[in-house]
Structures are given as structure tokens and as C-alpha cells.
């Protein structure tokens, strides 16, 4: 639970999320997935900002985990509370065709949470 809270409460959330991605794509990824336990009861104790960040983290974990054989995906990532009110599309203007495309063609892991990362930026180099 500590690892997930550390990411959500990080001073630089984007850097913490980038570090998480590097762990999840590393050769030791199974170990890192096992460290991502979070008590679903704690979701109700998070601030709105922390809940938004946890939603983004859950989307990334599920997306990568579904593509890594043997990755452990804990139940908390499927919690009903982990859905943003408005679509989150970082890196594209709000009224752009690129934003609409990202929303329309997003994988299930993102669309169910209203989180729309560019999937190309989540792939390892």
C-alpha cells in the first residue's frame, strides 16, 4: 500500500508515474506488480486530487498489467470510485481532433475510467 500512496502523494506526480512505468516494464516487473497492493477501504479517505491521481495510476497499472504475463492485478484497481468526472487527455488541446480520436480509440483500461493517455507514450522504448 505504501508504494501506491507514495506515487499518489508524490510532489511530482508525473515523475512518480514515469518511474512506475519503468518498474512495470523492467525485467523484474512481476516483483513490482506485487508491491502495488492498496486497501480499497482507503479510497474513501483520499482527497479529490489524490483520488484523481489514484484513478490515473489504476488505469496505467491495468493497461500494462494486461500486457505483462504473470502480472498481479489487485482488486482495488477495479473499484467503482476510480473514474474521473471529465475526460483526462494530457498533451492534446481540449477542442482538438487528436483529443476526440484518443477518446474514441482508447483501450478499455482507459475508457472505463475516463483517463485517456496516449498509448504510444506508455510503451517502453
Half-sphere exposure of 72 (CA within 13 A, CB side): 13
Whether 41 contacts 81, CB under 8 Å: no
Low-confidence ranges of the chain (pLDDT < 70): 125
Q: How far apart are CA 65 and CA 47, in angstroms?
A: 26
Q: How far apart are CA 62 and CA 74, in angstroms?
A: 9
Tally of structural domains, the chain? 1
User: What is the extent of the structural domain holding 16?
Assistant: 2-122
Res 121: pLDDT = 84
Res 36: pLDDT = 98
Res 102: pLDDT = 94
Res 52: pLDDT = 98
Q: How far apart are CA 53 and CA 58, in angstroms?
A: 9
Q: Dump the DSSP string for 98-116.
A: HHHHHHHT--HHHHTTTB-
Whether 6 contacts 38, CB under 8 Å: no
Res 90: pLDDT = 93
Amino acid at each position: 500500500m505504501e508504494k501506491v500512496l507514495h506515487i499518489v502523494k508524490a510532489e511530482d506526480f508525473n515523475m512518480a508515474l514515469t518511474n512506475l512505468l519503468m518498474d512495470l516494464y523492467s525485467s523484474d516487473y512481476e516483483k513490482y506488480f506485487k508491491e502495488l497492493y492498496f486497501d480499497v477501504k482507503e479510497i474513501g479517505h483520499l482527497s479529490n486530487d489524490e483520488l484523481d491521481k489514484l484513478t490515473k495510476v489504476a488505469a496505467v497499472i491495468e493497461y500494462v498489467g494486461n500486457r505483462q504475463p504473470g502480472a498481479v492485478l489487485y482488486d482495488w484497481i477495479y473499484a467503482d470510485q476510480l473514474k474521473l468526472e471529465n475526460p483526462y487527455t494530457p498533451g492534446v488541446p481540449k477542442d482538438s481532433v487528436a483529443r476526440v480520436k484518443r477518446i474514441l480509440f482508447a483501450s478499455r483500461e482507459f475508457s472505463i475510467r475516463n483517463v485517456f493517455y496516449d498509448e504510444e507514450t506508455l510503451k517502453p522504448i
